[in-house]
Amino acid sequence: MKREFAVIGLGRFGASVCQELSAEGMEVLAIDKMESKVNDFRHIASHAVIADSTDEKALKELGIRNIDHVIVAIGDDIQASILTTLILKELGIKKVTVKAQSNHHEKVLLKIGADHVIHPERDMGKKIAHSLISNNFLDHLELSNEHSIIEIKASKKMIGKTLVELDIRARYGCNVVAIRSKATNKMNISPLATDKIEAGDVLIIIGADKDISKFEKHLVIDE
Ligand code: ATP
């Protein structure tokens, strides 16, 4: 079944979300207050309309209440982003994802009921910083303000060693939740202490950011 989304604000971020959802075959209602932005989406999104999302009546008339998931991608105008989120939650939209411009903006959005707050510039900055430090770093997923999941390539220090030999949990306080084997291309979920790490394996690790950082410094960065 096709899921229905609305994307409010067609700046670079909103436009990219809208394009990708449409390419994946989802029903997308694209909304912006600027006609030129809306025109660019007439042939991409299922519907593209000019509306000011701080106008509750306009949103109601668009039938926004029938939409499963609304993404608020208004950037610079923080007041409009907050007011739009508030209206959407008051209208009973189940899932509202909002792009935040700053940590303060994020705090307010969570207080007023945003279901998910994203901070693309900050998150991308973090990912890039990690990959600059180590070539073995592949990905970073923030779970909360203090916890993350990271994906790394086995470093030279790990190759040929078992998990018990590396003793990651006791030494660094993080857990290896899965290992993707290069040899078999299979995902080993909840690996055993006796499982050995081979060259090219990818490890998925969960932990507190401070512990992950310690782990990265000692085990992930190859000299
Ligand atoms: P990006 O970095 O993704 O390009 P941005 O952070 O610079 O975006 P803005 O350009 O401030 O974000 O806003 C994104 C879009 O949201 C713009 O196209 C703007 O017209 C639209 N927008 C702003 N306020 C409203 C509103 N109240 N209702 C509808 N659209 C709005």
Residue-wise pLDDT tens digits, 26-61:
999 999 999 999 999 999 999 999 999 999 999 999
The CA 66 to ligand 1 mean position distance, Å, reads 23
Tell me, what's the pLDDT at 131?
82
**Ligand 1: which residue has its CA nearest to atom 5?**
75
Q: Do 29 and 67 form a contact (C-beta atoms < 8 A)? A: yes
Mutate to test the pocket of ligand 1, among 7, 19, 32 (most ligand atoms within 8 A of CB): 32
Which atom of ligand 1 sits closest to the CA of residue 14? 3
The CA 128 to ligand 1 mean position distance, Å, reads 25
pTM equals 0.79
CATH number of 122-220: 3.30.70.1450
The CA 14 to ligand 1 mean position distance, Å, reads 8
Residue 1 has pLDDT above 60, yes or no: no
Which atom of ligand 1 sits closest to the CA of residue 55? 27
Which atom of ligand 1 sits closest to the CA of residue 77? 11
Query: Where exactly does CATH 3.40.50.720 map onto the chain?
Result: 4-118
Residues with CB under 6 A from ligand 1: 8-14, 31-34, 37, 52-54, 74-77, 80
The CA 77 to ligand 1 mean position distance, Å, reads 7
Query: Where exactly does CATH 3.30.70.1450 map onto the chain?
Result: 122-220
Which atom of ligand 1 sits closest to the CA of residue 15? 3
Mutate to test the pocket of ligand 1, among 20, 38, 77 (most ligand atoms within 8 A of CB): 77
Which regions of the chain does DSSP assign to beta strands (E)? 4-8, 27-32, 47-50, 69-72, 95-99, 116-118, 137-142, 147-153, 175-180, 187-189, 202-208
Looking at residues 87-113, what average pLDDT do you find? 95
Q: Could you tell me where the DSSP H helices lie in 91-167?
A: 103-111, 120-133, 163-166
> Percentage of residues in the chain with pLDDT exceeding 70?
99
103's tokens: 């940590």
Q: What is the mean pLDDT of the chain?
A: 93
Q: Which CATH class is domain 4-118?
A: alpha beta
Question: In this structure, what are the phi and psi dihedrals at residue 175, rounded to the nearest 5 degrees?
Answer: -120, 135
Q: Do 22 and 48 form a contact (C-beta atoms < 8 A)? A: no
> Percentage of residues in the chain with pLDDT exceeding 90?
79
